[in-house]
Amino acid sequence: MSTDAPSTLDLDDPATDPFDVARAAADHIATATGVSGHDVALVLGSGWGGAAELVGEVVAEIPTHEIPGFSRASVEGHRSTTRSIRVERPDGSTRHALVIGSRTHLYEGKGVRRVAHGVRTAAATGCSAVVLTNGCGGLHISWRPGQPVLLKDHINLTATSPLEGATFVDLTDLYSPRLRDVARSVDPELPEGVYAQFPGPHYETPAEVKMAGIMGADLVGMSTTLEAVAARHCGMEVLGISLVTNLAAGISPEPLSHAEVLEAGQAAGPRISELLARIVRAI
């Protein structure tokens, strides 16, 4: 029996416009939270979950799977609630942030529409910017577990796209230079890198990591790129921040495990959460 909220709009039906489902989801969020519109969205990956409480005052919290088009979280370490947060900016003005719980990963087998649904819903609520975070493997010995890295570009190795039909979108500046400048104004020491998304759920082999490095990648993971493309198509500015939770295969002397990812995220959590909260308030 499905745990998804009943809806006449079936996101998995090719005849359904996914943007109709996003608008229905936005309407549900507005009704359930009492907030008519949001300004910035956050998708919190492994290690980043503690940031929401530091961003501002939580106005409302709703189960994500009750929102049309969303499912329960199926990955340990991912929270299954969506929150509306009132943010007090440095200039004294107020904005609302939408923190989307239960990111859907491509490897869950629910389809690319489900992967893109979160950012499309954020855009439908009025968000003009989205912050996409993740936990990932690093290709540089100098980036130890716990290091946050701004994304300046990505390599999509999933062999798919969230866009359907003859939909052509310029991705030259996909990861907003303006938002990266904002992030560096908060922490001038933040390094930048290129993120390569593999489909997962298995970790990359040493040869695949070496290939990604030759192609120009500095980080490898299993999320973010499809969401970033969908967000750009919706007209949102995109800021991507990775947390290096482990050295990638062939670089790390130890076997890779999800427990290691969670442990590194928990250790870095308080520090990166405060960093992210400061960046969101500045945005």
Position 76 scores a pLDDT of: 53
Q: Are 227 and 22 in contact (CB under 8 A)?
A: no
- The pLDDT value recorded for residue 62 is 93
What's the pLDDT at 93?
Answer: 85
Q: What is the pLDDT of residue 184?
A: 96
Torsion of CA 109, 111, 117, 118, to 10 degrees: 20
State the CB neighbour count (10 A cutoff) for residue 61: 17
- 105 among the known binding-site residues? yes
Tell whether 50 is in a known binding site.
no
Q: Which residues of the chain have pLDDT under 50?
A: 1-7, 77
- The answer to whether the annotation marks 156 as part of a ligand binding site is no
Instruction: Supply the pLDDT for residue 249.
Output: 80
3-state class (DSSP) for residue 188: coil
The C-alpha angle with vertex 80 and arms to 74 and 84, in degrees rounded to 5, equals 155
| pLDDT of res. 1 | 35
User: Cα–Cα distance between 50 and 276 in angstroms, integer?
Assistant: 10
Question: Is 204 considered catalytic here?
Answer: yes
What integer pLDDT is reported at residue 283 of this predicted model? Answer: 86
Among residues 204, 208, 227, 237, which one is catalytic? 204
Domain 18-282 class in CATH? alpha beta
Distance of CA 101 to the CA centre of its chain: 10
b/e per residue, 95-115, with b = 16+ CB within 10 A? Answer: bbbbbbbbbbbbbbebebbbb
**Is 137 marked within a binding site?**
no
Residue 223 assigned as binding residue: yes
pLDDT in the model for residue 58: 93
Domain spans of the chain?
Answer: 18-282
Look at the alpha carbons of 22, 30, 83, 10 in this order and tell me if their dihedral is positive or negative: negative
- Which pLDDT does position 27 carry in this prediction? 97
Residue 191, preceding bond cis, omega within 30 degrees? no
Q: Was 103 annotated as part of a binding site?
A: yes
